[in-house]
Structure 1
Amino acid sequence: MDAAVIRETVRGRWSADSGAALEGLSRLVEIPALSPSFDAEWETTRQLHAAVDHVRSYLDALDVPGASTDVVELPGRTPVLLLDVPATGDARTDETVVVYGHLDKQPAAGEWSPGLGPWTPVVKDGRLYGRGAGDDGYAAYAAATALEALHAGGGAHARTVVLLETCEESGSRDLGAYLEHLRPRLGEVGLVVCLDTSGVDYERLWLATSLRGMVSFDLSVRVLTSGVHSGHGSGLVPSSFRILRELLDRVEDPRTGRLHLPELVTEVPADRLAEVHAAGDALAPTLPLVDGMRYAHDDVADLVLANTWSTTMSVTGADGLPPLPEAGNVLRPYTSVKLSFRLPPTVDADTALAALTRVLTTDPPFGAQVEITRTDAATGWNANPRAGWLESTLDEVGDEVFGLPWRALGLGGTIPFLGLFGRAYPDAQFVVTGPRGPGNNAHVPDEWLHLEQTERVTEAVARIIHAHARS
């Protein structure tokens, strides 16, 4: 493999002057391909289909021998675009590489800065502005460019399938059905490259190695059939809020935030601990704290682990509480809260939900009516131990492409597609990365893509796929 040709090809495709990948992505920005959660009429508006058609035209024009595209659309589900490239003659043939991205987008989400707009691509100061540029339209073009670069530079690759879904921003609710449907077609998947995460900076390659799971539901406590004057009822009937507090204390220590239920906690694996300590202060959070507020821990490593491997409970909404100006002297009939639990990556979400339901609804104080509704559960993901070939390749990429050692991080959020891939291919090697970083504004106004980091990530993907082919 000629590394210089790989780099030259990648830079040419992402060039702000005449780069085909940058031009194709810019045109994709112009398509308001809103995810189904934001466009209930997506089957009629067909903007998702327009995005698929646009990217497919680009992929069909690739100078990659044997490459073919296909659009798969199961009844009632959003379409999936596939690019299928056969293995090179000198590559392993027993495994398939899957490269993942998505083409659906978030809405405009407010007012953009002067001269910018969600559907108007603008290249400025080394960035491409526009909705879907960084989340996640670049993935299709980065994957295609990596394959083009490998062929131009004499590199190798196993059979590689680029899978682009159109429902990620709606929780990838269709992806599971497609992974099952495509299982015979994809065969034995040995490497999954997911291009849809962020790093801590734009200086090095960042890999996500774990995601927390999530459980959420509405918890309601009812004590009366209707409200009564607090002077008449207080002291006779405990308030619904008091009972709610007691129930929540069954689950969480209000002083430390620790969860009492063994089904909700786990030990942090040694390799994840090592990754946190290797990254050091680079992972320090920067949240908009009010004056005088402190973080929950003083040590950066403790903060990171609390965000990525601890279970946390958050009240994210409430009902039964009138606005303060309208609140009178009333013993209210009920209090309801929306509870969100972030779970360690290896905790089973369904088991956690069952445990929470049992603890919160069994023997309620004073016989109050307690109800749990609108439940949702998603198990997290934890990467397999890295193979030797991948570890050494990452070291080379860090040194030769970025000039800094690569680093890994766990993510405190939940990304359903990774859990789906992890369960579909439990023995595969995972490379979960992307060029997004601080301030990229995904999901909010002025979204942008860092073009130089995109070049480096694309080159890294090419080299990783080449190394897999020879492993």
Structure 2
Amino acid sequence: MTLTESSPADIIRDHANDAWVGIVPLLHEYIAIPNVSPDFDPDWREHGFMAQAVELIAGWCRARPIPGMTIEVMELPERTPMIVIDVPAFNGGSNDDPVLLYGHLDKQPEMEGWRDDLGPWTPVLEGDRLYGRGGADDGYAAFASLTAIEATQAAGGAHNRCVVLIEASEESGSPDLPAYIEALTDTIGTPSLVVCLDSGCVDYERMWVTTSLRGMVMGTLSVDIVTAGLHSGDVSGMIPSSFRIIRSLLDRVEDAATGAMLLPELIVEIPPGRVAEANDTAPLVGAYADNYPLVEGARAAVDDPAEQLLARTWYGTLSVVGADGLPPTNRAGNVLRPSTSLKLSFRLPPTADPKAAAAAITAALEADPPYGARVSFSNVDGAPGWDAPATAPWLADALDASSTAAFGQPARNFGEGGSIPFMGMLGGKFPKAQFVITGVLGPDANAHGPNEYLHVPTARKLTMAVAHILSAHAAR
């Protein structure tokens, strides 16, 4: 059953708007909790912040007046908790053809560079922007998911059984998720639609649907050459610098002049459909890199707008995201340091194999160490990317209709440069499912960085759009 003329789209709009009046204060409370992901807080259980965030969100969910809904805070041994919500079908929808909705509540660490009047754990509502860590990535997801279900019911629409999963280890690469997916096999069933609210958007004018996600490999590259710091005037030229060695090792995997990956395991042929998608989207968004705070006189690595979209989604990249062994410049003596360690983040094209990539990277970095230095690539972790299956006609129509109803503009597709391990996992487990991967993180929302914010009107409108999609799914 679709929404009837006596239950117009403005009922969904009004319900979502009313609900979000109460959600925004709860997001203030959520942002104030420093529940960083376990990779960044090994003592997360003792600190209690994750439990506090789980209870805040689960408590709100429990209070929702959704008939037949069950909520469990599930915690497998030695795992982060998972909020599991099961909502039975409504108004003629099917219990045997479920929808899976996904989000997470763990956060990235603080990061430096916040505006003086802002901070990661200091929620500030400034116009349409709610600043603070985690509101958009991804604390809003549970609120939006249940509000969309409520709005569908309030408007007299039908929806199939809905399973909502809110995990707590996504920012660490979702290491706990496979165990939960296995444990929840009977609860999840075989969904024909997966809705993920953990992605981004190109602008705030329409619903943006993510059609691909990059995979990743992370690890720590360490070089040790001597057992103690030595006077650089005494030994330099005779004893090699650990930094020069590590720099030469990076040249084995990346072209320093262009940023291109040098290992075939980190390179794929871009599907023609994704190239066409970038060419179609580029005129709408222009030079996408211009949305980011380049210093005066700097420019992007590629100039063509379509190539920028492909570069951030279908090209492998290397980023050095952390370092050990380097003292602050104001405390750096004239010393040849004994060791250098760099944390490396490789983004993989969506269809690259992360296990093969990790093995190739490790072999390239550790083979034949220069000068016989001690070289290791350790703490290696990887996650698969994801490339969306062909969109079913019913969903293509529903996306445009839902975006038009909520935003006034039809939906558009784009590839996302980040990783959501859940999608690769679910894509393999449920190959016949349709996927709606979307989110509220615009190009200047600065997820993971300083001054991260949630654009509240977009979150409200996206909630409305999901409600329309749930009804369309039941009616297909």
Calculate the TM-score normalised by the size of structure 2. Answer: 0.85
Q: Separation in 2 of the partners of 1:108 and 1:356?
A: 29
Alignment of 1:68-467 (within 5 A): 68-88=70-90, 90-105=92-107, 125-128=127-130, 132-226=134-228, 239-281=241-283, 282=285, 284-286=288-290, 287-320=292-325, 333-440=338-445, 442-443=447-448, 448-467=453-472
The residue number in structure 1 matching 2:25 is 26
CA contact (8 A) 1:349 1:377 kept: yes
**Aligned residue identity for 1:463:** H
CA, structure 1 residues 220+401, in 2 after alignment: closer, same or farther (shift >3 Å)?
Answer: closer
Cα distance per residue 1:437-466 (max 9 Å; x no partner): 244455566654333322321121112122
1:389 is paired with a residue of what secondary structure?
helix
**Aligned residue identity for 2:274:** R
**Aligned residue identity for 1:188:** T
**Aligned residue identity for 2:294:** L
Q: Separation in 2 of the partners of 1:318 and 1:45?
A: 26
2:294 is paired with a residue of what secondary structure?
coil
Measured after TM superposition, the shift of residue 162 of structure 1 is 1.5
Q: Separation in 1 of the partners of 2:239 and 2:119?
A: 55
Deviates most, 237-246 or 69-78: 237-246
Q: Does 2:6 match 1:7?
A: no
Measured after TM superposition, the shift of residue 257 of structure 1 is 2.6
Deviates most, 192-201 or 425-434: 425-434
Cα distance per residue 1:369-393 (max 9 Å; x no partner): 3322232222222222211211121
Equivalent position to 2:66, from 64, 67, 89: 64
The residue number in structure 2 matching 1:470 is 475
Q: Separation in 2 of the partners of 1:120 and 1:227?
A: 41
| Unpaired stretches in structure 1, ≥5 consecutive residues | none
Measured after TM superposition, the shift of residue 173 of structure 1 is 3.1
Q: Separation in 2 of the partners of 1:442 and 1:242?
A: 32
Q: Separation in 2 of the partners of 1:285 and 1:185?
A: 42
**Aligned residue identity for 2:168:** T
Measured after TM superposition, the shift of residue 242 of structure 1 is 4.4
Q: Separation in 2 of the partners of 1:384 and 1:255?
A: 35
Rg larger for: 1
Deviates most, 48-57 or 153-162: 48-57
Deviates most, 454-463 or 409-418: 409-418
2:312 is paired with a residue of what secondary structure?
helix
Q: Percent identity?
A: 50
Q: Separation in 1 of the partners of 2:84 and 2:107?
A: 18
Q: Separation in 2 of the partners of 1:48 and 1:237?
A: 47
Cα distance per residue 1:221-280 (max 9 Å; x no partner): 444455666666555555544444443333223333322211111011122222211211
Measured after TM superposition, the shift of residue 144 of structure 1 is 1.6
CA contact (8 A) 2:91 2:156 kept: no
The CA RMSD over aligned residues, in Å, is: 3.3
Measured after TM superposition, the shift of residue 326 of structure 1 is 6.5
CA, structure 1 residues 401+20, in 2 after alignment: closer, same or farther (shift >3 Å)?
Answer: closer
CA, structure 1 residues 7+29, in 2 after alignment: closer, same or farther (shift >3 Å)?
Answer: farther
Deviates most, 398-407 or 343-352: 398-407
Measured after TM superposition, the shift of residue 320 of structure 1 is 4.8
Measured after TM superposition, the shift of residue 6 of structure 1 is 5.4
**Aligned residue identity for 1:351:** A
**Aligned residue identity for 1:285:** A
Q: Separation in 1 of the partners of 2:47 and 2:234?
A: 57
Measured after TM superposition, the shift of residue 336 of structure 1 is 3.8
Cα distance per residue 1:18-75 (max 9 Å; x no partner): x234314423532544245366555456554444444444434444333222222222
Measured after TM superposition, the shift of residue 106 of structure 1 is 5.2
CA contact (8 A) 2:98 2:162 kept: yes
Q: Separation in 2 of the partners of 1:393 and 1:124?
A: 33
Q: Separation in 1 of the partners of 2:414 and 2:63?
A: 36
CA contact (8 A) 2:405 2:465 kept: no
**Aligned residue identity for 1:408:** N
Measured after TM superposition, the shift of residue 84 of structure 1 is 1.4
CA contact (8 A) 1:440 1:447 kept: yes
Q: Separation in 2 of the partners of 1:155 and 1:7?
A: 10
Q: Separation in 1 of the partners of 2:421 and 2:363?
A: 25
| Unpaired stretches in structure 2, ≥5 consecutive residues | none
Cα distance per residue 1:86-108 (max 9 Å; x no partner): 22353345421011123344567
Measured after TM superposition, the shift of residue 354 of structure 1 is 1.0
